Amino acid sequence: MTPAPCVAITGAGGSLGQALLRRWHSRGARLIALSSGSRPLQMVDDHGKPIPLQQVQWQVGAEAELAGLLAEVDVLVLNHGVNVYGDRSAAAVTRSLEVNALSSWRLLEQFAAVVSARPADPADDPTRPRAEVWLNSSEAEIQPAFSPLYELSKRLLGQLISLRALDLAGPRLRIRRLVLGPFRSPLNPFGVMSAGFVAGQVMAQARLGCDLIIVTPNPLTYILMPAATLSRWLYFRLLSGANGGADHGAGPAAADPARRHRSEGRS
Ligand SMILES: NC(=O)c1ccc[n+]([C@@H]2O[C@H](COP(=O)([O-])OP(=O)(O)OC[C@H]3O[C@@H](n4cnc5c(N)ncnc54)[C@H](OP(=O)(O)O)[C@@H]3O)[C@@H](O)[C@H]2O)c1
């Protein structure tokens, strides 16, 4: 039987963060709620029973402080995000890039470093599943979101995932990308889907083995997003290397081009 994973979710206080915590709880996971706020998170399940979770406060820019905690984690869900709407001030640029792109990228690198010490074959450690990181970008990676800095920062995140997955995804670490359409939350009060519905679809697609998880009513995204990830994979693979370009495709996953294609083509 697969052991219950330890799942850490950023943006835990937000709509999708809470919906995902509920879904993981119903699958028996041990939960770590990573929140930038200090308000205690109290959640109950469908029967009104409290959901046990460890709440940890963190801050963008202080990701290194989570290194010890990440050693416990099997699935890291990077879900935090911010929308500054029409603000184009220097402060808004910094905030959008830091929160939406750079902090997730730093946490991805940090988690990959922690995971690199685990056995390459999950069968060698039957007490824990293969590590996974889920990165919540957005349909804004490839579609207008009527918010220039939101689009810009989510596109940067998407491109960084594609670039770094060439080296970081492998037998020890699975990278999944969540590409979500509009759902209702403080970040987007006009979303057409509910966070609960989106979380359910995300979990279902993860269960089916998808690395590129798309939940949106917009049919174009189902065509454009796989095309974008595949073309980025090809472009980045041809023009970059783990060693400054001298070492094309080096890294834990590069030895098996078919597997890389499966992993990054869909992530
Ligand atoms: N809503 C949509 O239509 C939509 C569509 C596509 C993708 N997404 C993405 O889905 C994710 C969740 O969004 P949501 O719609 O559930 O919005 P939400 O309810 O506003 O949740 C976002 C959470 O991100 C965290 N956060 C905000 N600013 C932060 C900061 N400076 N530092 C660290 N954490 C911060 C907060 O959680 P804590 O207080 O717990 O830290 C906040 O509750 C985001 O990445 C968003 O971009 C949303």
Strand order in the sheet with 6-10: 54-57, 30-35, 6-10, 75-78, 131-136, 173-180, 212-215
DSSP 97-117: IIIIIIHHHHHHHHHHHHHTT
State in Å: Cα 81 to ligand 1 middle.
Answer: 4
What is the Rg, in whole angstroms, of the alpha carbon atoms belonging to the chain?
18
Q: What is the mean pLDDT of each run of 10 residues along the chain (267 residues)?
A: 88 98 97 96 94 98 96 98 97 98 98 93 84 96 96 98 97 97 96 98 98 98 98 96 55 38 42
pLDDT of residue 264: 41
List all residues whose CB is within 6 A of at least one atom of ligand 1. 11-17, 35-37, 60, 79-82, 99, 136, 138-139, 180, 182-183, 185-188, 191, 195
pLDDT of residue 1: 58
Q: Which domains does the chain have, with CATH numbers?
A: 6-266 (3.40.50.720)
* Ligand 1 atom 35 nearest Cα: 80
Mutate to test the pocket of ligand 1, among 93, 152, 185 (most ligand atoms within 8 A of CB): 185
pLDDT of residue 121: 82
pLDDT of residue 267: 46
pLDDT of residue 249: 39
pLDDT of residue 255: 35
Enter the tokens of residue 1: 């039987």
pLDDT of residue 266: 43
State in Å: Cα 137 to ligand 1 middle.
Answer: 11
pLDDT of residue 244: 60
